[in-house]
């Protein structure tokens, strides 16, 4: 039975409607955004297209940057039992960031066969002769020379009666101390981290722009079709706004996860970056800063949609929001080019810009903890204040019609 039984009349009394809390209402509104998208072939098709485009770009970049593989990794054939030379070769590669693999070979015939088959890039014979197919790359030649010199010195010192520990102490040379006069240049590892961060921020910018426009179009469509009037009879305007932002945010995170995983996997697979752990860490850092930025700009897009009465008016109200969002790309570009400049520091602390500038700056150079904390607090406070104001504008503008609604008229309507 759907109602309570009345003992006096014998009839069934209808149950009072269940009052849902704000969190439950927001979840329902968010599910209204999530479920259709996850069931849409267009959504999955766009993600597949994104994966294909990213993979193609990485393949082309790897092809254009190819031919210099020996500067990153190389296989060197070593004829005869020469463990000291193989050890010295590996140490030279580790010191210079080159992956040198010593391949033992039986004799010169095996060495020539390995060269012609492409199994090795060069071969060092027992008489200190180097065999190559065409030409010996200069970086590899330098490493082979240094390894041979270290092996010869070790042999001479051992003949003079020195122990292995004495030999290691005699041959050990402290690395040169490098002082950067400019102070703005990052090392190779920091450059790779900054490159990954910049790539991730640009990808998230386009996703934010796409989902923001979709949010604005959805709000305007509901407003022009009068559906929002039925929705507001059951839910409050701020609950509708929060649920829409949460729903599109979940969909955006799904696409972000797929895109970043694909991008980082391609970077590692095609040797665009040499440090997989750094790539993953930087990717997570960018996503962490992206979340408050997404909430801020998604709110602006939703408010812009509520100020337009028809789809034809949407471009006019979206122009300023799109311009501001595009302007935030100046932050990561400047942080990549000059991470220690005053302008970079200011942008990385400025709410609205910090979501894109701070992760690139943090990837490129060390950032003081108080600056990170200040940027995060300022961003969160600004987002909270904007969401509060946007809720009032959204509430006042969503029920008004007749061209583009002015913000002051929307606020006046919210008060009434």
Lowest mean pLDDT segment, chosen from 68-72, 162-166, 228-232, 256-260: 68-72
For the entire predicted model, the pTM comes to 0.61
Helix (H, G, I), strand (E, B) or coil at 18: coil
Separation between Cα atoms, residue 348 and residue 358, nearest integer Å: 5
231 close to 222: Cβ distance less than 8 angstroms: yes
pLDDT at 168 over 70: no
- One-character DSSP codes across 266-311: HHHHTTS-S-HHHHHHHHHHHHHHHHHHHHHHHHHHHHHHHHBSSG
Residue 314 predicted with pLDDT over 90: no
Q: How confident is the model at residue 274 (pLDDT cuts 50, 70, 90)?
A: low
Mind listing the pLDDT tens digit for each residue in 15-52?
Answer: 555 566 677 777 777 787 788 777 877 778 777 887 78
- Mean pLDDT for 375-388 is 85
Q: Which domains does the chain have, with CATH numbers?
A: 23-55+187-415 (no CATH), 72-171 (3.40.190.10)
**Would you tell me how many other CB atoms lie within 10 Å of the CB of residue 391?**
21
Residue 376 · residue 349 · CB < 8 Å: no
Cβ count near 195 (within 10 Å): 19
Is residue 370 pLDDT above 90, yes or no? yes
Taking 50 as the threshold, does the pLDDT of residue 338 lie above it?
Answer: yes
Kindly tell me if the per-residue pLDDT of 209 is higher than 60.
yes
Over residues 378-385, mean pLDDT: 86
Any residues with CB less than 8 A from the CB of 3 and at least 6 apart, and which?
Answer: 12, 13, 14, 15
pLDDT number for residue 345: 92
Sign (positive or negative) of CA dihedral 159, 163, 166, 171: positive
């Amino acid at each position: 039975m759907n109602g309570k039984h009345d003992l006096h009349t014998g009839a069934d009394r209808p149950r009072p409607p269940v009052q849902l809390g704000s969190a439950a209402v927001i979840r329902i509104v968010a599910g209204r955004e999530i479920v259709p998208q996850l069931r849409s072939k267009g959504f999955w098709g766009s993600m597949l297209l994104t994966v294909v485009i990213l993979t193609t770009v990485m393949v082309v970049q790897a092809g254009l940057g190819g031919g210099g593989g020996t500067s990153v990794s190389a296989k060197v054939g070593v004829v005869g039992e020469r463990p000291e030379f193989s050890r010295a070769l590996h140490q030279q590669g580790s010191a210079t960031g080159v992956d040198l693999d010593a391949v033992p070979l039986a004799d010169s015939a095996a060495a020539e066969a390995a060269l012609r088959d492409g199994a090795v890039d060069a071969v060092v014979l027992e008489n200190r002769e180097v065999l190559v197919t065409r030409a010996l790359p200069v970086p590899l030649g330098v490493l082979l020379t240094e390894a041979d010199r270290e092996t010869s010195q070790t042999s001479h010192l051992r003949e003079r009666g020195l122990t292995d520990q004495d030999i290691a102490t005699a041959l050990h040379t402290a690395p040169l101390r490098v002082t950067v006069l400019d102070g703005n240049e990052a090392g190779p590892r920091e450059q790779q981290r900054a490159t990954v961060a910049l790539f991730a921020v640009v990808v998230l910018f386009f996703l934010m722009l796409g989902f923001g426009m979709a949010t604005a179009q959805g709000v305007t469509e509901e407003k022009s079709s009068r559906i929002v009037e039925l929705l507001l009879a059951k839910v409050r305007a701020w609950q509708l706004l929060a649920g829409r932002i949460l729903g599109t945010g979940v969909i955006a995170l799904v696409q972000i996860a797929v895109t970043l995983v694909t991008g980082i996997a391609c970077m590692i697979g095609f040797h665009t970056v040499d440090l997989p752990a750094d790539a993953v860490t930087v990717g997570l850092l960018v996503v962490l800063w992206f979340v408050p930025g997404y909430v801020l700009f998604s709110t602006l897009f939703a408010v812009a949609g509520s100020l337009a009465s028809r789809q034809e008016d949407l471009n006019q109200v979206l122009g300023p929001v799109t311009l501001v969002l595009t302007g935030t790309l100046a932050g990561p570009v400047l942080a990549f080019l000059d991470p220690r400049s005053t302008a970079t520091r200011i942008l990385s602390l400025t709410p609205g810009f910090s979501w894109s500038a701070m992760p690139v700056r943090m990837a490129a150079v060390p950032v003081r903890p108080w600056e990170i904390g200040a940027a995060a607090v300022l961003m969160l406070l600004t987002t909270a204040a904007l969401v509060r104001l946007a809720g009032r504008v959204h509430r006042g503008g969503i029920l008004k019609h007749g061209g583009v609604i002015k913000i002051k008229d929307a606020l006046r309507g919210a008060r009434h």
